[in-house]
Structure 1
């Protein structure tokens, strides 16, 4: 009888823990979906002046409209697109009419194509503020001779191009050919695996219950006498 109660207790405790983890992931799923909806709404909102998006604090994904001129330098950052393969993101310096000097992620181009010179005319651009966290301890140092970077390290790129550490990802450049395809900000890169996690925990709970019933049945089975 003692063994029976032990197995039943372990089975109940394990089931409660696994079901609780599954319920927690369902709650996290609802929270993440709400967050993604808010981000998408912010991304697609009407653009505001850059100063408004930075004051009183930096608002990631805030849509902005900026007017000014591109600098003549650029950075190529190695990236990958599912349907294209390896490409370069082209990051350029941009000086706004109000004197701000920032980075513009203009978009992507295939590796074999030469980077075109940015137009030196006064332009009005629309994009979104971003603060990508792509660089880590495993990211190679930039190839300064080949002008190839391997992550959007905003502070380092700003230092290299002589701008403030502010990045705007281009959404639209009306009637302007920058020689790239825009790669606008979206929420696709934000992971949302909570449904899979919930299914995993609930599945483990079902398996745990099945194993508990199996061992309880074996324990209660009478031992055959010879």
Structure 2
């Protein structure tokens, strides 16, 4: 073996091994993420419980059952669905049977229903506690004149509707739903790109191995 091929050979073997290791690490992360998502979905679909007296973000996705009446006050958050296109999520003030004032994301209405009257209505709602993280540095401030918000900001919405900073996202509702379509919480939007990352690392490893083989072949064919 020519000494001149030893450095590129070592470099290629080490580089390929590192890239393969990163690919297998991403496969491990994929398995972990899939397990975590399955646990979250199982929690979302669990038997609903009464609304806890003290709730905090550690209870995110907790299934609950509430009964009471909407206040007739609401916030419309710009939204959309694949089936119905653009529209709004209706966030209503809600007074439970035991007198607590909370927020309820009742679901979706399309553009034509934006101005429909939605007076106080008695509802029984099965849903999940949620603390969405939708407001970023680029998110516009609510257009209060038009009554349109661009993200579900629980503390700000609670202040606007004079409720606890507590949001229940409806999965199903019984009573006068007033044309609002519940949109249950889902893990569909949770990113899980570990498989594509693993494929990329394996492709890099194959490229590294191929380039190393080609480089060594070129060296071996040199004539002096």
Tell me the TM-score normalized by structure 2. Answer: 0.93
Gaps of 5+ in 2: none
- Say whether the 8 Å CA contact 1:72–1:118 is kept in structure 2: yes
Structure 1 moving runs of 4+ over 4 Å = none
- Say whether the 8 Å CA contact 1:47–1:64 is kept in structure 2: yes
How many pairs are equivalent?
223
- Say whether the 8 Å CA contact 1:62–1:129 is kept in structure 2: yes
CA apart distance, 1:71? 1.0
Distance in 2 (CA, whole Å) between partners of 1:39 and 1:151 is 23
Alignment match, 1:37: 38
Tell me the TM-score normalized by structure 1. Answer: 0.92
Distance in 2 (CA, whole Å) between partners of 1:30 and 1:192 is 10
Between stretches 193-202 and 110-119, larger displacement belongs to: 110-119
- Say whether the 8 Å CA contact 1:43–1:185 is kept in structure 2: yes
Task: Within 5 Å, give how 1:66-215 maps onto structure 2.
Answer: 66-118=66-118, 120-215=120-215
Distance in 2 (CA, whole Å) between partners of 1:168 and 1:98 is 16
Residue 112 of structure 2 aligns to a residue whose secondary structure is: coil
CA apart distance, 1:160? 1.1
CA apart distance, 1:115? 4.1
Gaps of 5+ in 1: none
- Say whether the 8 Å CA contact 2:123–2:175 is kept in structure 1: no
CA apart distance, 1:32? 0.7
Alignment match, 2:65: 65
User: RMSD over aligned Cα, in angstroms?
Assistant: 1.8
- Say whether the 8 Å CA contact 1:102–1:158 is kept in structure 2: yes
CA apart distance, 1:14? 1.2
- Say whether the 8 Å CA contact 1:74–1:92 is kept in structure 2: yes
Residue 67 of structure 1 aligns to a residue whose secondary structure is: strand
1:156-198 deviations in whole A, cap 9, x for unaligned?
A: 1111111111111011112432321111101101111111111
1:42-84 deviations in whole A, cap 9, x for unaligned?
A: 11111000116838x7411111001111111111111122233
CA apart distance, 1:24? 1.0
CA apart distance, 1:10? 1.4
Residue 104 of structure 1 aligns to a residue whose secondary structure is: strand
Residue 191 of structure 2 aligns to a residue whose secondary structure is: coil
